[in-house]
Amino acid sequence: MPFEPSDLFFYFTALSILLSCYFIFSLYLIRKYLNINKDSEKKDYLPFTYAIAFIFFGVGRILMSIFDLIVEFQPSNRTLENIVIWEIGTIFQILGYGLFFILMEKRVMKGRDKYILVILYFVFYFIGILLINTQMDTLFFTIALLLTIYIPFAYLYIAIKADGVVRKKGITIFFGFLVLGIGLALLTETPLMIISSEFGLDYIQIHGISNLIKSVGVCLLFIGYK
C-alpha cells in the first residue's frame, strides 16, 4: 500500500537518528579502546565489545528496515524469498544482545553456571529462525526474549550492591535496556495490532515511534558504558 510522504519522512528521520546513535557511539567506543590500550600491557576489551554490539544492532536494524519496507510493514506480506533479509537482520540483533549477555554472565555469575542462560538464549532464537513462518516460531522467540530480561536486572543487581559511579552506571544501563525493550515490544504482533487499532496509527508510524524510543534507550546505554 502507498505511504503518506509525511509518514515516510517521520519513519526515515527516526531511523536515521537510531542508526546515528549506533554507529557514532561505536566509533567513540572504538577510539576509547585504542586510547586506553595504546600503552597498556593488560588490554581492556570492554569498550571494543560494546562497540561491536552496537555495530551488530545497527547492521541488523538496516536489514530489518529493508525487510519492513519490502513487505510494507505488514507481516502478512512476508514470503520465503523476502524473509531471508529479516532472518539475517535478526541474527545480527541476536549477536548484539548475545555479547551483552556473555559479559553479564561473566561479570555476575563468573562462569559458575557454565553460561547455560547464554546457550539457551542462542538455541531458542536460532530454532525460532529455523521455524519461521510456522506456528512455533513465536514461542521460541518469546522464550529467548524472556531470557534477555536477565541482562537489565543483572545491572540493577550490580547497582544495588555497589555505590558511587558504579551504582549510577548500573542504574543508567538498567533503564537503557528497559527503554530499549519497550521500543522492541511495540513491534511484536499483539502490541502492534492493539496500538494501531486503539490510536489509529499506521504500522509505519508505530515503527517510527519504536525507533525513537530505542534511540533514547541506546543513548542511556552509551552514557552507562562510556
- List the domain boundaries for the chain: 5-225
Using an 8 Å Cβ cutoff, are 218 and 54 in contact?
A: yes
C-alpha cell recorded at residue 219: 543513548
**CA 81/CA 106 separation, integer angstroms:** 39
Model pLDDT, residue 13: 96
pLDDT by 10-residue block (mean), the chain, 226 residues: 83 96 95 82 82 95 94 82 86 88 76 78 84 74 80 84 86 91 84 85 92 95 88
Entry pTM = 0.87
pLDDT per residue over 174-187, tens digit each? 999 999 989 988 88
Q: What's the CA gap between 219 and 190, in Å, rounded? A: 27
Question: Can you spell out the DSSP letters for 132-167?
Answer: TTSTTHHHHHHHHHHHTTHHHHHHHHHHHH--HHHH
Per-residue model confidence (pLDDT) at position 61: 95
Q: Which CATH class is domain 5-225?
A: mainly alpha
